[in-house]
Amino acid sequence: MKNKTTIVSASVLFFLGTYAFGQEKEKDSLKTNTVEEVVVLGSRAGARSKIDSPVPVDVFNIKETSVVLPQSSIGQILNAVAPSFTSTIQTNSDGTDHLDPAQLRGLGPDQVLVLVNGKRRHTSALVNVNGTPGRGTVGTDLNSIPSFALNRIEVLRDGASAQYGSDAIAGVINLELKRDIGKLTGQVSYGGNLTPTANDHTGNFDGQNIQVDLNYGNKIGSKGGFYNITWSSQFRNPTSRAGAESGSIYNAYNAIEKRAQNDGVNLSSLFSNINNTPNSQQLIGYIHQYSQGVGYFSAQQQAAIQNTSIIQDIKDTQGNVIQKGLQSLLNFDVTDQELAYRGLGRKDFNMAGGTVKN
């Protein structure tokens, strides 16, 4: 009997608790009826998705998009309007400089299927082998199709491998070309960077980009045939944000090496077997000879070089230097003097397209 009482009490508490909870929910729902407007954050893009399809499809009208966006290529346009799409402009990355890897949902470029008017677009012949997004994959070159040739872009941002195959694991991008006939259209776009850090921190404009596009179409025959041609040219100046090189560029040995090089002597080749006595003596002789051609060495520096006939320092058992060799003796900085001799400036050693002057 005691057990039955316990069960009944527990049941009563349960229902009482449920009833009280229901009362609170009813009060809350009455409060929410007073809300007259609901604002969804991040709704600037407007309605762009066809949500009545089995999976969401983003549809972007290029004519409308080009008015409000400064981007001119397909990859950069999609970068700005499609949150699931990623394409970054590469530099110093071999052929990837020209074929920007395009990704959907963070997956590889070879897992994005690109269609043109619903037909499969071929991939490029370039394998991304550098440290770029999609390394080791082969993607589709979106830069080969001018954005002015498009009417709209459709992005299926979900896996569609069951319908299209394994190259659609990340999604599908369909590029719909223009079908305009009987009219010539064109546009000119210009942009640049105005910043104090432009032109190696000297300010003003850099990275100017001018693009000219023309499109024309006309009928072919009397059965609905037509052609549509797009011409696009882009002229782009480089950007540079590097300041002038401030560290040491040349030491005294580099100065002597340059004088020897001017005379057709390659001092670096003698380092291949520096412990070989003929090589070391020949190197020391060349250093003595060509150091005299460095006009900005002081008399004291010249005397120290001429009076030294060893390459490496001589040290005692405790590691203290007893006699300096040419290796440490020629390690003083002569950057400013040597730059003037070679007709160069510090900014010539800023990275520019992966190369520097020497």
252-304 pLDDT, tens digit per residue, is: 999 999 999 999 998 888 776 555 556 788 889 999 999 999 999 999 999 99
> Quick one: tokens of 76?
């950069």
Q: Which residue, among 110, 88, 109, 92, has the nearest Cα to 100 in the 3D structure? A: 88
Distances (CA, A) of 246 to 198, 295, 343, 346: 18, 24, 17, 7
Q: In the chain, what are the domain boundaries?
A: 46-177, 179-241, 252-349
DSSP 40-62: -TT-TT-S-EETTSSS-EEEEEH
Instruction: Give the number of other CB atoms < 10 A from CB of residue 76.
Output: 19
- pLDDT, one tens digit per residue, over 194-225 is 888 777 777 788 888 899 999 999 999 888 89
Q: What are φ and ψ of residue 242, in 5° steps?
A: -80, 140
Q: Which residue, among 20, 85, 38, has the nearest Cα to 58 in the 3D structure? A: 85
Q: Which residue, among 96, 186, 87, 118, has the nearest Cα to 146 in the 3D structure? A: 186
**What is the pLDDT, as a whole number, of residue 193?**
82
Q: Cβ(342)–Cβ(357) under 8 Å? A: no
Q: Cβ(338)–Cβ(258) under 8 Å? A: yes
**What is the pLDDT, as a whole number, of residue 351?**
60
Beta bridge partners of 209: 191, 236
Sequence-ordered alpha helix ranges (H) in the chain: 2-32, 62-68, 74-81, 161-164, 198-201, 252-262, 277-291, 299-306, 326-329, 335-342
**What is the pLDDT, as a whole number, of residue 33?**
55
Kindly state which CATH superfamily the domain 46-177 is placed in: TonB-dependent receptor, plug domain (2.170.130.10)
Instruction: Give the number of other CB atoms < 10 A from CB of residue 72.
Output: 21
Query: What strand order describes the sheet that includes 205-220?
Result: 183-194, 205-220, 225-236
| Rounded Cα gap, residues 75 and 72, in angstroms | 9
What are the residue ranges in the chain where pLDDT is below 70?
Answer: 1-54, 92-93, 272-278, 351-358
> Quick one: tokens of 128?
């991304």
**What is the pLDDT, as a whole number, of residue 47?**
52
**What is the pLDDT, as a whole number, of residue 6?**
37
Could you tell me which residues come within 8 angstroms of residue 242 by beta carbon, excluding any fewer than 6 positions away?
A: 200, 201, 347, 350, 351
